[in-house]
Amino acid sequence: MTVAIVTGAAMGLGQSFAVALARNGYRVAGLDVADLGETARQAAAAGGDLLAVRADVTDAGSVAAAVDEVAREFGALHVVVNNAGIYPPIPFDRTTVDDWHRVMRVNLDGPFLVTRAALPHLRAAGWGRIVNIVSAVVFLGPPELVAYTTSKAGLVGFTRALATELGPENITVNAIAPGLTHTDTAARSTGAGGGFERVRALQSVPRVERPEDLTSTLLYVCAKGSGFLTGQTINVDGGSAKH
């Protein structure tokens, strides 16, 4: 049985990813600082199950304990989905040093810490899939998201370099770049739907992106049979960035 960790699984894309993996036969652990009860209920309704693990991805000790708990509970670990992230819309000249550091801690330090903790278990399994959720903003550079765009561009670099290092060990590293996807979190951040309409106007596919638009790509990248795909950033944004 293939075992997967999804960070930021309590809501939004992370919740959809965790449920999709559970529905497709993965044993899934959701990591989050928030309550994972709803994700667990959805996973059960989809015919799977979810191990809920409370963890702060910015804290090395919390991450190490959480990953060890998953490997101990399931007996192995094969897939890591680094999804946890924050994207506060702040004009650059109002971005404080604390704002900047907070975005980098969650969006860059988090994937580093989770991947570092998971790597010995992937090596022990003999294969692995590391999937970093980035964003189409790295191709578009929208306003008021300088810190977020910088963090996601850094995660693309992390993906490429780590893919080179781990390829000989049958461990792939790829990134998925969603466009603005309709989740409760995104709706709160964009306010009154204006952001969704602005982004939709840029797309070739003229509708708002939904979490289910991304799950088929996730399943493809995570599959054991996708071992020749690595170092890639797969843009799934309805064609707003022709990358």
Question: Would you please indicate which residues are annotated as catalytic (active-site) residues?
Answer: 148
Q: How many residues does the chain have?
A: 243
CB 109 within 8 A of CB 117: no
Taking the alpha carbons at both ends of the chain, their separation in whole angstroms is: 35
Cβ-Cβ contacts under 8 Å for 216 (sequence gap 6 or more) = none
